[in-house]
Amino acid sequence: MGRQFQPSDEDLSSAFAGLLSGFDSPSRIHAFLTQVTVLLVQNRVSTRRAAVLTYLGQTLLRTLPAIELELNPPEEDQQILFDLPRPRSDEPEDPERATYRRLSNLYGAGAASTDSDPSAAGTPTPGQTK
């Protein structure tokens, strides 16, 4: 049977000399994660412990942009421009849109006339029986 790795409670702070403070730049976090990889390859840290340390390094790395924004806010508010070009009228009309417009005009006009005179459509008004 192969040699099983026995996790230890070994203090690894000496392996991370100078890397355990100042996680304020991607290069320092990269150096920390590189050292975790070296310790894992040397079998000085368990896979689980290396995974936790790597996750912490990834979390630190993901928070750097938010910290940068907090420390150096933008000078002025971001401006949103709604400047979309209007559709060109010289382009041919889409056939589906043309059909919809034609039907809307045809049935929209008929619906308007029946709305103004409910008896013409054969629908009873309140208080009127059919």
Query: Which of 71-80, 88-97, 100-109, 113-122 has the highest average model confidence (pLDDT)?
Result: 100-109
Say if CB 33 and CB 60 are below 8 A apart: no
pLDDT for the residue numbered 11: 66
C-alpha to C-alpha distance for 98 and 106, rounded to whole angstroms: 12
pLDDT digits (tens, 9 = 90+) for 39-95: 889 888 889 989 998 999 999 899 988 888 888 887 877 777 777 777 777 777 788
Task: Say yes or no to pLDDT of 22 above 70.
Answer: yes
pLDDT for position 29: 87
Judged on CB neighbours under 10 Å (0-12, 13-18, 19+), 107 is: exposed
**Considering the chain, what is the average pLDDT of its residues?**
75
Euclidean distance between CA atoms 91 and 7, whole angstroms: 72
Q: What is the pTM of this model?
A: 0.47
DSSP-assigned states of every residue in 98-120: HHHHHHHHHHHHHHHHHHH-HHH
